[in-house]
Amino acid sequence: MKYLSRFIFISMFIFSISTSKCITFSFGDKKVITSEEIQHAGITRIADILLLIDNWNLSTIDGYTWLANANNLSSYQGQNWIVILDGQKFDLNSFDVKILNFLPVTIDQIDFVEIINTPKIYKSEFTEKGIIHFHTKRPEKGFSLQVYQMGGNITGEPGPYEGSEFSTPDIQRIGRDASYSFDYKLNNWYFRTYFIRHFHPFQDIAMIKRNTKILEDPPGNGSRENRHLKLWFEDTDRPKMLRNSLSLRVGKENKTRINELQIDYSYSYRYFLFFKPIGREIPVNDFYTRIGISGNPFISDNLTYRFQYFLKELEKHPNALDFDFKWRSHNFQGIMEKSFMNSFFNGKIGIGYDRFILDTEYHLEKDYFDMYRLYNEIKFNVSKKIYQNLNGMLLYSNNKTALKGSIINFWEINSLHSLNTVLSYSQRLFEEDNSLWFWTEKGYNILEEYNVEYTVSKNIDKSSQLTFDIIWKTAIKNRFIIKLNSVYRNFYDTYIERQSFEFNPQDGSFSSPLHIYAGQNGQVLGQQLTLTYWIKPQIKQSFYYSYQFEVGEDEIFKETWKSIPKHKAIYKITYSPDLNFSIWAKLSYLSSTFWIDYKDIDGQTYYSSNEINEKYYSTVESTLILDLQIQKWFWQRRLSASLLLRNVGDQDFRYHPIGASFGLTYYIQLRLFLNF
């Protein structure tokens, strides 16, 4: 592997002197989701956008926080896919959970979303685990105001039967989420501010039970906190989360340059963080502040800079376990990038610096780490119809280096057919994961304090991966597009967590010792087919099918990968007979998955009554789900109303063995756009 990585690096610089004309299109597997698609598809929160990425597999426990497997670049362990908002990377991880809904942006401000599914350099990051980049709309001249309101409900309330022999547990409403955005633009200057509020109550009986038990503050105890919360929560004893965030953007733009100052503040009150080592959710108050600047300095249009400071804290929320993460982190990031173009090739070269500091009560061997990066990307064409992109990155931290690089070829076979190949090799430092295990090694002794038994089979060192993708695409009369992807992934020296949970029926919690198997290898092969067809300009339909399977001899790796569906099929249709009216439907099939960590809870009853007898199973059964949305605009597209139905067939459907069951759910969304 060492030789291969050197080969990629050296070849990149050798090829950079090849002769060619300049090219600007994108290489590799990229998906773009437009604001129109987002509105048609009934997206209620930012993280729901993940549901529109066909080749990302998803799992969730609470319906608010999503685990993603981006185009088979990782399993659900190691949520290291990257989130970028207008060029700035956002660290939304709390241990191995990435909370995309904490991104400070409203749905209606999104112009488009770029998803990079194959490894390459993108916005100074190497996309070895996938990237999702949210681009916001540019403010329009004058004043503009946007208001968004959303409310939903999972069906299955006891209704009038409550109190009778047919009574069943009560189910709470979803949300009453809201966002308000205000823009002002005068000449080249603009100002934007927005406020976002999320309400997320748990709907699932088992989750309500285990999370009600852990909340220390019982209903109506008269405490000052409870009186205050009554305004927001109505019944404070039910496990619910409230998130408020406020953001500010000030910038100056002209034809070639944009310089922007960004300030974000987010406070999530009583977020139930699923902390896998102890097998349950812990209520925390998650808080972050971010200050960033980005743009093009006046000395050169080809130079870009991005700097940001990120302060994050997991503040203790009163809980029965008295669990306190004692986690406060400071992160500084700086990037300088220069793009170049001549008659032979174009590309960019950049440098970056990261410092991460952990402020905790635990005594750490070293409470920070620095990371330096140097990267380069070159695009040119080898012949008239073959274009090539060579990119590489050198990363340095704590006296260790990691090399990352990829070679991407784009062959325009003829006007109908094209072929894309992506070969990548990347090493990954332990520091890059910035995980619980990295900090545990440095002395963050939270597991010992809360008596979690854990063992590590051998030292965790840098891991690596080799990937190969081949993508064939054809377009027939621009109405019918066929895309066929083959993917190969080979992971080396990766570490895998393994637990064997037991269920505690008293409080609905789970417990298990934890073992980390370091130095694991594994391979994955997959095939994906996408068909897109416009029956008429008003009707677009698409079909997606993927099949993936793990190969090799490493049982630990293979068992972990069984939590990813082998088969996945999605059919989507959008019908817009008029600009101001649309119907959207999505039918998805996911094959069954097996979760090895939960094999000992098979058949355990978590809720029993005259009417309901619910049990846990380590196998999540295959599902077929139909989602449907109807949207109508009013008042010359100033006002919009939509009705979204998820799981129309009301299947007993879940993404995770101990996660919520998502029955038929309906959402109503209202939007108001005013320009002065």
Partner 1 sequence: MFLKKLLFVITLYILILVFFQCTCLLYADRIQAFSSINAGLQYKLNTNRNSFHDFWKHDIGIKGFIETPFYFGCIQAGIQMDSFLRINYKVYDFQTVNLYVGWGKKWLLPYNFKCFTGFNIGNALMIFDEEKNQYEDQYNIEQELRTGIELYFSIPIQKKMDIYLTESYSVIYTYHRIRLNFISVGISYSFTTPKWFREFMK
Q: Which of 7, 166, 189, 480 binds partner 1 (CB under 8 A)?
A: 166
Structural element, H or E, at residue 580: none
Closest CA to 100 of 82, 120, 77: 82
Closest CA to 620 of 603, 595, 584: 595
Q: Which of 191, 309, 450, 589 binds partner 1 (CB under 8 A)?
A: 589
Direct distance between the N- and C-terminal alpha carbons of the chain, in angstroms, rounded to an integer: 60
- CB proximity list for 659: less than 8 A, separation 6 or greater: 59, 60, 61, 62, 63, 204, 207
Stretch that binds partner 1, among 85-93, 125-133, 290-298, 533-541 (CB under 8 A): 533-541
Kindly state the tokens that stand for 561: 């990968």
Beta carbon nearer to partner 1, 256 or 610: 610
Q: Binding to partner 1 by residue 555, rule CB under 8 A?
A: no
Q: Which of 33, 51, 150, 585 binds partner 1 (CB under 8 A)?
A: 585
Phi/psi class of residue 296: alpha, beta or left (left: φ > 0; alpha: ψ in -120 to 50)? beta
Beta carbon nearer to partner 1, 525 or 639: 639
Provide the β-strand partners of residue 533. 480, 541
Q: Binding to partner 1 by residue 156, rule CB under 8 A?
A: yes
Beta carbon nearer to partner 1, 32 or 535: 535
- Find the binding residues for partner 1 in span 17-46 (CB under 8 A): none
Handedness of CA 564, 565, 568, 573 (dihedral sign): negative
Q: Binding to partner 1 by residue 340, rule CB under 8 A?
A: no
Beta carbon nearer to partner 1, 484 or 587: 587
Closest CA to 408 of 29, 17, 123: 29
| Cα–Cα distance for residue pair 672/676, rounded to 1 Å | 13
Beta carbon nearer to partner 1, 114 or 157: 157
Q: Binding to partner 1 by residue 666, rule CB under 8 A?
A: yes
Query: Any idea which residue has 């100056």 for tokens?
Result: 252
Q: Which of 162, 448, 453, 652 binds partner 1 (CB under 8 A)?
A: 162
SS (H, E, C) 257-275: CEEEEEEEEEEEEEEEEEE
Beta carbon nearer to partner 1, 64 or 667: 667
Q: What minimum distance in Å lies between the beta carbon of 303 and partner 1?
A: 48
Q: Which of 1, 250, 452, 626 binds partner 1 (CB under 8 A)?
A: 626
Q: Which of 232, 265, 575, 594 binds partner 1 (CB under 8 A)?
A: 575
Query: How large is the C-alpha radius of gyration of the chain?
Result: 25
Beta carbon nearer to partner 1, 135 or 646: 646
DSSP annotation string for 22-90: ------SSEEEEEHHHHHHTT--SGGGGGGG-TTEEEEESSSSSEEEEETTSS-SS----EEEETTEEE
Kindly state the tokens that stand for 319: 């809980």
Q: Which of 3, 24, 163, 610 binds partner 1 (CB under 8 A)?
A: 163
Beta carbon nearer to partner 1, 388 or 574: 574
Can you list the positions of beta strands (E) in 139-209? 142-154, 173-186, 189-201
Beta carbon nearer to partner 1, 266 or 593: 593
Q: What minimum distance in Å lies between the beta carbon of 475 and partner 1?
A: 22
Pairing assessment for the beta strands 514-536 and 454-456 based on DSSP bridges: parallel
Beta carbon nearer to partner 1, 245 or 593: 593
Stretch that binds partner 1, among 59-67, 363-371, 535-543, 596-604 (CB under 8 A): 535-543
Q: Binding to partner 1 by residue 531, rule CB under 8 A?
A: no
Kindly state the tokens that stand for 396: 């340095």
Q: Which of 218, 513, 552, 577 binds partner 1 (CB under 8 A)?
A: 577
Q: Which of 10, 374, 624, 674 binds partner 1 (CB under 8 A)?
A: 624
Q: What minimum distance in Å lies between the beta carbon of 569 and partner 1?
A: 8
Would you tell me which residues interact with partner 1 (CB under 8 A)? 153, 155-166, 168, 170, 173, 535-536, 538-539, 569, 571, 573, 575, 577-578, 580-581, 585, 587, 589, 611, 622, 624, 626, 634-636, 643, 650, 664, 666, 668
